[in-house]
Amino acid sequence: MPVGALIKALKPIYGFTDAGRAFWLKLRDKLLGLGFVQSFYEPALFYLVNAKGETVGALCSHVDDLLMAFHPTDELAQRTREQMIELFEFGSWKRGEFTYTGRHFTQKEDFSIEIDMKEFLAAIAPVRVARARKLERTEPLEAHEHAQYRSMIGQAAWCTRMLLPQHAFDCSQLAGKARAPTVDDLIALNSLIRACKKSADHKLRIVGMPLDRLCVVGASDAAFDNLPEHRSQAGHIIGVAPAEILDDHESSHSFVPMEWKTGRIKRVVRSTLAAEAYGMGTTAEGLEWFRAILAEMKDVSVPHGPECRTKPMLIPGALVTDAKSLYDVMVADRLNVADRRLSLEAALIRQQLKSNIQAKWVRSEQMIADCLTKSGVDSSYMREVWRSASWTLGPDARAPSTRKRALRVPESQQGGGHFGRKTRPSGEGSSRGESSGEGGLSGREKGKPAEAGARMDV
């Protein structure tokens, strides 16, 4: 072959930019041939539905890694699982305990799932900065230091997106400086990496819940004027829980977070109320998306019929804030806001409350999204919610009492909160009033989640 010859590839080549896309297209065709149904809202998500119309399997793809869940006793689910083993050449097939996209999954005997990132965190390390270089804190990074910075911020961002929301705010701030970081930023990034490594024992627990009784809960928080140029930060955590969490404020209920995000509000706002409202608007959008996914999971024909907009509304939801001023705006009979831009945002939120979504208020120390909007926040309560897979919208004795409130821990909660366990003595106050208007593995028969699955490496 002569030097400089142009070679035409007849098929995609591993490592080229089009290889991943070509693989996914082939994977999709194979899955559809096996009877899977592609999600209307999330193209990388597929469902397996039996003759009764029950969702008995789910599969999601991340490039060439697959995460699957199959009902342990359904005949179609088990037959399809065996067909997949024969159809694809898996690099590895692991069941019950495996690592997927840096996260270590372990499924217990009761079908609950624990997720950690110990191995991923053990593999990352801070960049060595010479003592003399540390004194040049305002100097821009050199080319090789800049490359290390970008690599490390990517690793830190992956950790915070996948498992460690308590470090998400600091990571967000440092990621915003990735174009022109200084030595001081590199030192701060090293501190963030060390903090993430110290959180190696942090786990996310997923518990089974009946699919027909789920609701979606979105907790929203914002910090006003805490960024350069008078910018504000907003963040939210969206999770699923039994619908009883909306009305029973005497007990803690199963709660599994599905998404957490933090980011700078795009425009400069004039008040704390405005920052909270803009953050709540983003949370409401995410809540609607998850309601649509759950409605589709319960009935895969929903996105393709005339009920595609009304079906998700049958799944109840709640928008949770710790800002009393925002809560009052959300539930008041008459909207009276001097800021005209804010009044538009508030009107949109109030409109969404008419679609089977309730407004809820919790104490600041029970706002699990608090660590997403500011640095140095005590995240112990959020981590306890993650560990126990339980939360309540009423007063919770597990929360740090920043205002020196005396809350007695009921005996039923002393071993950790679970569905139906009391979080405080009967007779104490509940959360503020209300206004009427699973991403992950969800429960199946009798509250048991589907069987968690497999991984494919190519």
**Boundaries of every domain in the chain:** 19-117+447-452, 120-198, 210-437
d(CA 164, CA 275): 24
For residue 422, what pLDDT is reported?
A: 43
Residues 255 and 206: beta-carbon distance below 8 Å: no
Give the number of C-alpha atoms closer than 13 A to the C-alpha of residue 66, restricted to the C-beta side: 28
The CATH T-level fold of domain 210-437 is Nucleotidyltransferase; domain 5 (3.30.420)
For residue 306, what pLDDT is reported?
A: 64
d(CA 91, CA 93): 7
d(CA 391, CA 249): 10
Residue 260 CB neighbours (<10 A)? 25
Strand ranges (E), 212-332: 214-227, 231-242, 251-254, 256-264, 317-321
For residue 302, what pLDDT is reported?
A: 66
The bridge status of strand 251-254 relative to strand 390-391 is antiparallel
Q: At what angle do helices 324-331 and 272-298 cross, to 10 degrees?
A: 60
For residue 151, what pLDDT is reported?
A: 95
For residue 437, what pLDDT is reported?
A: 34
pLDDT by residue for the chain (458 residues), tens only, comes to 789 899 888 888 888 888 888 888 989 999 999 999 999 999 999 999 999 989 999 999 987 889 999 999 999 999 999 998 888 888 888 999 999 999 999 999 999 999 999 999 999 999 999 999 999 999 999 999 999 999 999 999 999 999 999 999 999 999 999 999 999 999 999 999 999 999 999 999 999 998 889 999 999 999 999 999 999 999 999 999 999 999 999 999 999 999 999 999 999 999 999 999 999 999 999 999 999 999 888 888 766 666 666 777 889 999 999 999 999 999 987 777 778 888 889 999 999 999 999 999 999 999 999 999 999 899 999 999 999 999 999 999 898 875 555 444 434 344 433 344 444 433 333 443 333 333 333 333 333 434 433 332 22
Strand ranges (E), 121-191: none
d(CA 201, CA 116): 7
